[in-house]
Amino acid sequence: MSSQEIPNDIILFHYTFSPFAKRIVWYLKLRGIPYAECIQPLTLPRPDLAELGINYRRIPLLSIGRDVYYDTRLILARLEQSFPASSYPPLSMPNNKGLEALLEKFTVDAGIFSKAAQSLPPDLPVMKDEKFLKDRADFTGTSWSQADRVKGYPEALAHIRHAFDILEALLADGRQWIGGTDKVSLADIHAVWPFNWIGDMLPKQAFPKDQHPKTWAWLSRFKKTVKEVEASSKKTVSLDGQAAIQHIMSASYHDQQTGVDSNDPVKLNEGDLVQLWPTDSGFRHKDQGHLVKLTNDEVVLAIQTKTGGKEIRVHAPRWGFRVVKAKAQL
Ligand SMILES: N[C@@H](CCC(=O)N[C@@H](CS)C(=O)NCC(=O)O)C(=O)O
55: Cβ contacts below 8 Å, ≥ 6 apart = 285, 286, 287, 288
Look at residue 323 in the predicted model and tell me its pLDDT.
98
The amino acid that residue 300 corresponds to is: V
Pocket test for ligand 1, best of 59, 76, 104 (most atoms within 8 A of CB): 59
DSSP state of 8: G
Question: Does 152 sit in the ligand 1 pocket, CB within 6 Å?
Answer: no
Residue 265 within a domain? no
Residue 215 within a domain? yes
Look at residue 308 in the predicted model and tell me its pLDDT.
86
pLDDT in tens, the chain (330 residues): 444 589 999 999 999 999 999 999 999 999 999 999 999 999 999 999 999 999 999 999 999 999 999 999 999 999 999 999 999 999 999 999 999 999 999 999 999 999 999 999 999 999 999 999 999 999 999 999 999 999 999 999 999 999 999 999 999 999 999 999 999 999 999 999 999 999 999 999 999 999 999 999 999 999 999 999 999 999 999 999 999 999 999 999 999 999 999 999 999 999 999 999 999 999 999 999 999 999 999 999 999 999 889 999 999 999 999 999 998 655
Ligand 1 atom with the smallest distance to the CA of 58 is: 12
Residue 221 within a domain? yes
Look at residue 327 in the predicted model and tell me its pLDDT.
85
- Gap from CA of 60 to ligand 1 centroid (Å): 6
**157 to each of 200, 202, 276, how far by Cα in Å?**
13, 8, 34
Other CB atoms within a 10 A radius of the CB of residue 313 amount to 22
Question: Does 55 sit in the ligand 1 pocket, CB within 6 Å?
Answer: no
Residue 158 within a domain? yes
321 and 295 Cβ atoms separated by less than 8 Å: no
Other CB atoms within a 10 A radius of the CB of residue 68 amount to 23
Task: Give burial (CB, 10 Å; 0-12/13-18/19+) of 13.
Answer: buried
Q: 220: domain CATH number?
A: 1.20.1050.10
State the DSSP string of 81-140. Answer: HHS-TTTS---S-GGGHHHHHHHHIIIIISSHHHHHHHTS-TTSGGGG-HHHHHHHHHHH
The tally of domains found in the chain comes to: 1
**261 to each of 34, 111, 268, how far by Cα in Å?**
34, 30, 9
Determine the 3-state secondary structure of 304 from DSSP.
strand
277 and 288 Cβ atoms separated by less than 8 Å: no
Question: Does 107 sit in the ligand 1 pocket, CB within 6 Å?
Answer: no
Residue 194 within a domain? yes
180 and 191 Cβ atoms separated by less than 8 Å: no
Look at residue 329 in the predicted model and tell me its pLDDT.
57
Residue 123 within a domain? yes
Question: Does 317 sit in the ligand 1 pocket, CB within 6 Å?
Answer: no
b vs e for 195-222, b when ≥16 Cβ sit within 10 Å of the residue's Cβ?
A: bbbbbeebeeeebeeeebebbbebbeeb
- Gap from CA of 182 to ligand 1 centroid (Å): 31
Angle, alpha carbons 116-174-113 (nearest 5°): 10
Domain that holds residue 209: 94-225
Pocket test for ligand 1, best of 14, 18, 115 (most atoms within 8 A of CB): 18
